[in-house]
Structure 1
Amino acid sequence: MKINWGTGIVLAFIGFISFIMFFVIRMNTNDKYDHDLVTEDYYKAELEYQTDINKEENAKDLASNITWKRTSEGLVISFPKELNVEQIEGKVFLYRPSNKQVDFESSISLSNHNLLIPDKRLLDGRWNIKVDWQYNGNSYLYKKEIVY
């Protein structure tokens, strides 16, 4: 059977469309290529963005801000020394951009000015840390991208 140029063009189109459909179906069915939004309630978080900006401005007005360092026990978050630790309350959020299954949230409970997050909870790599805390009725926010 002889194939003329019209039949060749039709076969080329069918082959190209099949090739594209194969990759579209593969990308939609494979969990490896599944990417989610940063947060589930993205639009709600966007509406609260101005309050976060105000909290960050409050934190800049402090004499010293939160610091962190990696130790053999884990991640140590240090609060300002001039503050009374009994009046500090809030939450620490650790977000892993590459794997949402290891994200976690922890309440702040201090006996001294340091909060320890154990090494077993943290994987090596990039983390986004967010400390949302209150002291004497004022709200503060510390956000940082860290490599652990």
Structure 2
Amino acid sequence: MSTENKTFTLWPYAIIAAIVLFAGYIIFFVVKAMNQDVDLVSKDYYAQEIAYQDHINKLGRTIAVGEVGITYNQEGKTILLQLPEGYKDQKIYGQIEFFRPSDDALDFKMPLQPGRDLSQLIQADTLQPGRWKVRVNFSANNETFYAEKALTIE
């Protein structure tokens, strides 16, 4: 008769449990990823593509006439918008959009009202400090134009 001392070990059960838990973890994330709604193409893709081409055309027209200057004066807390001389003696209509990437509640628009020297001075003392994008959409002689510049208000 053999009197072998058999000891009970948990290692095989722990390895099997680890494999089962890992497989369950992978299956959970695969199921979750498969149920994720991914819309890469919008329903009005064609209209958006045409609008994007219009945006590119606006940028091209703006560059052809001259660059729109948007500068921030930290001491005076002002933003100077300067249209190029190519727009002299033209009726200019448009708007200036102040876009805050970090907080859309701070976004606002104002009318574009350039003076005789084709400039507009905007008081920036009410703007929250941080990064702003100033977007200018305007039209002159039945053509539309666009300019954008990122500013850091301190």
Task: Provide TM-score, normalisation by structure 1.
Answer: 0.63
- The answer as to whether partners of 2:137 and 2:145 remain within 8 angstroms in 1 is yes
Q: How does 1:100-139 map to 2 (within 5 A)?
A: 100-112=104-116, 113-125=119-131, 127-139=132-144
Q: Which residue of 2 aligns with 1:67?
A: 69
CA distance in 1, matches of 2:48, 2:125: 29
Structure 1 counterpart of 2:99, from 95, 119, 123: 95
Q: Whose helix proportion is higher, 1 or 2? A: 1
CA contact (8 A) 1:109 1:115 kept: no
Paired residues for 1:7-46 under 5 Å: 7=14, 9-10=16-17, 17=25, 45-46=48-49
Aligned counterparts of 1:13 and 1:92: Cα–Cα separation in 2: 60
- Given that residues 85 and 111 in structure 1 are in contact (C-alpha distance below 8 angstroms), is that contact kept between their aligned partners in structure 2? no
**Structure 1 counterpart of 2:3:** none
- Give aligned-pair identity as a percent: 18
- Look up the equivalent residue of 1:132 and give its one-letter code: N
Structure 1: any 5+ residue segments left out of the alignment? 25-41
Question: Structure 2 CA distance, aligned partners of 1:85 and 1:123?
Answer: 36
Number of aligned pairs?
127
Larger Rg: 2
* Greater CA drift, 52-61 or 89-98: 89-98
> Under a length normalisation based on structure 2, what TM-score does the superposition of the two structures give?
0.61
Q: Report the counterpart of residue 143 of structure 1 in structure 2.
A: 148
